[in-house]
Chains A and B, each alone.
Chain A
């Protein structure tokens, strides 16, 4: 399978991830490791996990990134979102000894077989939204930001999330609309 070279605006993380997915590129994986491993460790330790166990989880997350690379779809998720999902699954697995039930994939094998590669504009739109979210997060007051971080670190119950104000919901809502358009588009391609 050949991958058309991505346009230069696509982030290095996405470029590396596509190289891992499409050509099993080890150097690209090593670059992803250098970017994500320290962030993952910091993220996992924030919830009180010790350094040793955090590194075990980091290893498992990065190995899952390699093994499940075929499921990465840059038109639906930015690399960091996809890695976040894997990280939370591994943490639940290790700390709670549970497997989080996961939604059924949208016929991933069909998507692969149809050869319908997303165009670069879709990938860029996903990246732009992710950057906007990061920016929105950085502009929050420290206490608001703390709430968001705790929510996505899995430290708040759904009741706590529903009573907290100050979530940057506007950004999430526009992300939902765009995500829905993309999902509809993807389903149409499958039919």
Chain B
């Protein structure tokens, strides 16, 4: 595997560690950390920042009985939480979002497919499947778009993005990413707003496809 060259910016890592990222972005950052040792180290460093704050924010007296109540519950049986492991090209957090099942692809035309993982008023996360040589319609964003490559690679005006690379697209980026020759490109993409396409047809289709 080639080295990851496009990383999670520090402010996003800090916000992820602090739990303040919207869910869709948090999924992409968690997936990137699963693939990238540098960003895992950055994330763990921010946890130590959080730990320092936890140690220094003033304590509050706790109710009598809270400790006994916790000690009494130590042996209470709990249902084990499912652990999702990397499967194929999909890292653990993506498998968790898929609930352990393979993606359900829906065609967007021209061989491009998507599988929506989550979508609500705070944003959406989805997998995109782009055949080699195919271009995703020229689009810009209302907010921030995070795109993590899981298979293959794509290129746009800002550079080439291969497995593990994270592209940060802001509203000024109007781009038409094209999958490079080779295996189909599979990406995990998150936005905090619906995508806006520059050409008319895709814009008309947007409500149908939720892209």
Contacts and interface: CB of A to CB of B under 8 A. Distances in A.
A37 B44 contact: no
Nearest to B67: A33
B62 A38 contact: yes
Given A101-B97, A103-B43, A58 B62 contact: yes
Nearest to B14: A161
Contacts of B88: none
Interface in A71-91: 76-85, 87-89, 91
Interface string B1-15: 000000001111011
Contacts of B50: 81, 84-85, 88, 152
A119 interface: no
A98 interface: yes
Q: Is the interface of B mostly helix, strand, loop or mixed?
A: helix
B34 A42 contact: no
Q: Is the interface of A mostly helix, strand, loop or mixed?
A: helix
A84 B70 CA distance: 18
Nearest to A158: B15
B47 A81 contact: yes
B47 A85 contact: yes
A83 B33 contact: no
A55 B63 contact: yes
Contacts of A102: 30, 93, 96
B201 interface: no
Interface of B: 9-12, 14-15, 17-21, 23, 25-27, 30-31, 33-34, 37-38, 40-63, 66-67, 69-71, 73-74, 78, 84-86, 91-93, 96-97
17 contacts: A39-B55, A40-B54, A77-B48, A80-B48, A81-B50, A84-B51, A92-B19, A103-B43, A103-B93, A104-B86, A133-B51, A151-B14, A151-B18, A153-B57, A155-B20, A156-B20, A176-B41
